[in-house]
Chains A and B, each alone.
Chain A
Amino acid sequence: MLPAADERRLFEELQELLAATVEDLSTQEVRLDSSLKDDLGVDSLALLELVAAIEDKWQIQVPMEEAEQLGTVRQIITHLGTVTTPAGEAS
């Protein structure tokens, strides 16, 4: 379980990343339990871009089979919590 402060920080960073990846999406529209596909309009191409952006930002590798299991913003945060340190560096 991530500390609340780390979860908050990752959430805010993901809000920015999603708004920069998905057209016509503002940070305010991104919520913890937003469904990537149904609520945020992340289609298959956008998912590839989102994964690429996450890999760039956190310097990690996210295999596509894992990425396809990430259906919500919260699930991405949970995944990031398992592969990054509290300081945000790759573990």
Chain B
Amino acid sequence: MSLRHQARPVRRGAVAAVTGLGATTALGGDVPSTWTALLSGKCGVQRLGFEMPDGSAQDFLAAPAAVDPRSVLSPAKVSHCDRSAQLALVAAKEALRDAGLPDGRSSYGPGTRVAAVVGVGLGGLASILEQYRRLESGGVGRITPRTIPIMLPNHPAAEVGLMIGAEARVHTPVSACASGAEAIAQALGIIRDGHADVVVAGGTEAALVPLALAGFARLQALSRRHGDPQGASRPFDADRDGFVMGEGAGIVVVESAEHAAARGARVHGYLTGAGITNDSHHVAQPAPGGTGCAAALRATLRDAGLAAEQVQHINAHATSTPLGDLSEAQALRRVFGDALKNIAVSAPKAALGHTLGAAGAIEAVLTVLALRERTAPPVCTLDRLDPAIELNVVGPGAQPLPSGPLAAVSTSMGFGGHNVALAFATDS
């Protein structure tokens, strides 16, 4: 059945149906295992030993993916891809299966236009370093012929696009830790503008290598709680002292509500709005008072046609840095005001670590699940809420969300001043 006629441009503010969810994280190799572990308060952070370039050993806190992508993908695919693309492919495969499109190209109706949008933060850093080592030690003949494709930031998006036959377009937003969320915002735009019928969108990151860990450490951005890995990432807690690097990928399948209905797809929820701003203030610090983030939140609510009082759940970016969490809380206060007392705020980086370019996408998956399951996941490390943070932060247990139509917002921020917010709802 051809559904192409339904890909016409749709009105500004139209929603997209979320029909597929995929994720691979420090808590599990798929969405169900991640969600179950998150609700039960498990934490994916570990203390890991790394070999430094001078041969010495050094420990860092990290939240590595729980399931090795090599156990899911063919050996050839693994050898052709940086780990960031491997994780993206694992999550994309799950999302497509979940959407009832397991065979990719062959399962779409004729004429269906498909797009892929997969963001990254650090991208193929691990492969770049590995190939450079080979070049240093053995010369040109020692590096893989795929060196260039795997070091390009669009590598994961290109691989996902190849897998799904994304002939409509393939994009790679690179906005540091907002990349995954920006990918989903772009997907909404693609559906609204009628450029594709189905968009496979998300983010990925696999950069747990000494250079990245040391770089964030030099920025004083990482938690120093090496004696307490499971308590190190503590968003909004009074004793937070920095984030923990994680790795993973999150992918959603979105399509116009009409297209989803026409093919009888199960709908998890709706992507109802998105807002993007930039602080233009500092390369690595948020604007004072969270003004840029607040602007993105306002744009998102406007785009989704939501009043603050209509939002029951917020997935906060909240990386566990002293300044970032406070700034985000201030932004939320500016936008939601007294409505915050009825909004359950979750911060999954407590359990997943900060997955940089994947974070916004993984958390979009979790936000859709929170609405669908009417349950806000807990912040597993929350002991003592920072008195300066006036939010209803969920923890130590999960918090039920009310009956009736639900709406949620997920925030993402990134170095370079990026602010992205996404709005989701149970109803179109």
Within 8 A of A (CB), among B58-96: 74-77, 79-80
- Verify if A49 is at the interface (C-beta below 8 Å from B): yes
- Verify if A19 is at the interface (C-beta below 8 Å from B): yes
- Verify if A83 is at the interface (C-beta below 8 Å from B): no
Q: Which of B102-110, B138-146, B221-229 contacts A (4 or more CB under 8 A)?
A: B138-146
Q: Which residue of chain B has the shortest Cβ distance to A20 in the bound complex? A: B75
Q: Establish whether residues B144 and A49, one from each chain, have CB atoms under 8 Å apart when the complex forms.
A: yes
Contacts of B146 in A (CB 8 A): 45, 49
- Verify if A23 is at the interface (C-beta below 8 Å from B): yes
Min CB distance A91 to B, Å, is 19
Tally of contact residues, B, Cβ under 8 A: 10
A45 vs B149: C-alpha distance in the bound complex, in angstroms?
11
* B142-169 contact mask (Cβ, 8 Å, vs A): 1 or 0: 0011100000000000000000000000
In terms of DSSP, what is the predominant structure of the interface of chain A?
helix
B79 CB contact (under 8 Å) in A21, A24, A25, A48: A21
With A19-B75, A23-B74, A25-B76 given, is the CB distance from A49 to B145 under 8 Å?
Answer: yes
A20 vs B144: C-alpha distance in the bound complex, in angstroms?
14
Q: Establish whether residues B141 and A24, one from each chain, have CB atoms under 8 Å apart when the complex forms.
A: no
Within 8 A of A (CB), among B96-145: 141, 144-145
Contacts of A55 in B (CB 8 A): 141
A90 vs B75: C-alpha distance in the bound complex, in angstroms?
26
Q: Which residue of chain A has the shortest Cβ distance to B73 in the bound complex? A: A23
A22 CB contact (under 8 Å) in B76, B141, B144, B145: B76
Contacts of B141 in A (CB 8 A): 52, 55, 61
Q: Establish whether residues A23 and B145, one from each chain, have CB atoms under 8 Å apart when the complex forms.
A: no
Q: Establish whether residues B144 and A21, one from each chain, have CB atoms under 8 Å apart when the complex forms.
A: no
Q: Establish whether residues B77 and A23, one from each chain, have CB atoms under 8 Å apart when the complex forms.
A: yes
Interface residues of A (CB under 8 A from B): 19-25, 45, 48-49, 52, 55, 61
Interface residues of B (CB under 8 A from A): 74-77, 79-80, 141, 144-146
A sample of 6 cross-chain residue pairs with beta-carbon separation below 8 angstroms, ordered by A number, consists of A21-B76, A48-B145, A49-B144, A52-B144, A52-B145, A61-B141
